[in-house]
Amino acid sequence: MLKKIDKLILRAVAGPFFLTFAVVQFILLCQFLLKYLDDIIGKDLGAGVLLQLLGFFSVLIVPTSLPLAVLLSSLMTYGGLGEHHELTAIKASGIALTRILRPVALLSAGLAVGSFWFNQYVVPMANLKAYSLLWDVRQQKLALDIREGVFYNGIPGYTIKVDRKTGANGDRLHGVMIYDQTGKNGNSTVLLADSGRMFTRFGGGYLGLELFKGASYVEQPDVQNRAAATFIRQGFDHNTITFSLNSFSLSRTKEELFSENRMMLNIPQLQVAVDSVQRHLATERRNVPVQLGSFYTFVRFDTLGAARNRAVEGWVVPASKLPPLTASIVQQATNRARNIRSSTGATAERLNSIARTSAEFRIEIYRKYAQSMAVFLMFLIGAPLGAIIKKGGLGVPILVSILFFIIYYVVSIMGEKYGRELVMPVGVGMWLSDMVLLPPGLFFLYQAYNDSGLLELDFWRRLASHIRQPWLKKMAEPEEEMAVA
């Protein structure tokens, strides 16, 4: 019987899980696309490059969307079982709630382990592929877009201006002006034409401009006298110019150049990087006294013995034996103090920068553990809460899931920021969201195990009465003592 119940629950959770996982993936993927939309639009990247970007970013958001999918699917599953009284029937047969939750709990634990493996091996590789491709896309020029009345300099070495464009595809040009800047003397060649036609050649790798009824003006400078430069005018009825479009093609950068970024490393590699940064930080801290020593003059008494050193420490120089305080001495002291403050400020900023770098590497290590644990914690919240709410479907479960996911997301961002800025320890900051979710999960599990009507008015009335009774009793004690007196 128990195996049949397990199969029933797993079949019930499978549909909502895959549905919610796909929906969450789509929503988060749209967020990524909106973030980088300006870097993608208008560059004629082609379907292949766009599909690669979508695929890589879909992989990157899996660790974020998995906890929400587990929360929503478990809440919908046990809420649906409670709504149709199936949960009550199973409990009536003598099966405890913890046993009913076990199949989905084991599934969630397996998903948590799988999420950790995914974070450890797949996400770093996807980060390397995605962000190296995104870097190349950002460096890619916009697609060829010659507009009316606007100087266009997207083609290296040339500036083109067109007064008017006609034709079905805008390939007919009128009032064409071309500045040839490929020579050593700048705009030494200018082409003017009444009309022209624009087309691509050699498989789209070159742009052809067929010009009609125009003239070319070429400046011939005089080496000895710049003002005596001459111009050569040459008219034409038909002229064809070809421009290379290699600068508009997507050139790929070697992925090895991005492989040292913290987002592209797994835990052992991140740990090596942390150790290296920490050793660098320790070395810099040991060098601080040496750097400050150049601003002072020290007298060492080590050769006099320990007793003599203690006696020297107690020396007091009378004011009469001090040199007179002149303006030059004050200025020297002021300059030295200013130099010390500048040096210590720069040193402190450098040490803080190294410490923040170490924190960023440690953040990536803790993130892999914290995101994996969040998968199981979301089950711990969703399943008992669904058994308490007893509502399936997409109404109440979605509202509750969004509420808890917003809390988890906001707290995780806040903890990461505090850890990066060294406001709190990195480990505490990265585990903060999980620590916030754990008490509500245990509370909901306790309430569901004891069949508590957490969302019923009678529950809150009883809770309020339990809270009021001790206060009423304390307030009544002084009155009884006064009556006895």
Amino acid at 250: L
Give the separation between CA 207 and CA 198, rounded to whole angstroms.
Answer: 7
* Residue-wise pLDDT tens digits, 314-347: 667 677 766 777 777 778 878 888 888 888 888 8
pLDDT 10s digit of each residue in the chain, 485 long?
A: 567 888 888 888 888 889 888 988 888 888 888 887 776 776 667 677 788 888 888 888 898 889 888 988 888 888 888 777 777 788 777 788 888 888 888 999 999 999 999 988 888 888 888 888 877 776 665 556 677 888 877 777 788 888 888 877 777 888 888 888 776 665 578 888 888 888 777 666 677 888 888 888 887 766 555 555 677 788 888 888 877 766 565 566 677 777 777 888 888 888 898 898 888 888 888 887 777 766 665 544 444 556 656 666 666 767 776 677 777 777 887 888 888 888 888 888 888 888 888 888 899 899 999 989 999 998 888 888 888 877 766 667 778 778 888 888 889 899 989 988 888 898 898 899 889 989 888 888 888 887 765 555 455 555 556 666 665 555 555 555 555 44
SS3 249: coil
- Phi first, then psi, for residue 67 (nearest 5°) are -60, -40
Residues 55-60: contacts with CB within 8 Å, 24+ apart? 56/126, 56/129, 56/130, 56/133, 57/29, 57/32, 57/33, 57/130, 58/25, 58/29, 59/122, 59/123, 59/126, 59/130, 60/32, 60/123, 60/126, 60/127, 60/130
In CATH, the architecture of 158-248 is: Roll (2.30)
Element (H, E) at 358: helix 327-389
Domain ranges of the chain: 2-140+373-464, 158-248, 266-363
Which structure tokens are listed for 330? Answer: 């004050």
| Count of CB atoms situated within 10 Å of the CB of 129 | 19
- Secondary structure (DSSP) of 405-423: HHHHHHHHHHHHHHHHTTS
Q: Computed over its alpha carbons, how large is the radius of gyration of the chain?
A: 37
Angle, helix 396-420 to helix 327-389, in steps of 10 degrees:
160
Give the separation between CA 396 and CA 249, rounded to whole angstroms.
Answer: 50
Burial of 171 (0-12, 13-18, 19+ CB in 10 A): middle
Which structure tokens are listed for 58? Answer: 């879909």
- Edge-to-edge strand ranges of the sheet holding 172-180: 158-166, 172-180, 189-201, 206-220, 230-244
Greatest Cα pair distance in the chain: 124
Q: Are 234 and 190 in contact (CB under 8 A)?
A: no
- Phi first, then psi, for residue 217 (nearest 5°) are -120, 120
Give the separation between CA 389 and CA 386, rounded to whole angstroms.
Answer: 5
Burial of 335 (0-12, 13-18, 19+ CB in 10 A): exposed
Query: Strand pairing of 158-166 and 206-220?
Result: unpaired
Residue 379: which of 7, 12, 17, 2 has the closest Cα? 17
Give the separation between CA 109 and CA 374, rounded to whole angstroms.
Answer: 10
Element (H, E) at 234: strand 230-244
Give every CB contact of residue 204 below 8 A, 6+ residues apart in sequence.
245
Give the separation between CA 331 and CA 471, rounded to whole angstroms.
Answer: 70
Q: ∠ at Cα 92 (88, 96), nearest 5°?
A: 85
The pLDDT of residue 111 = 92
SS3 225: coil
Element (H, E) at 443: helix 426-449
Residue 97: which of 376, 455, 387 has the closest Cα? 387
Find the length of the chain.
485
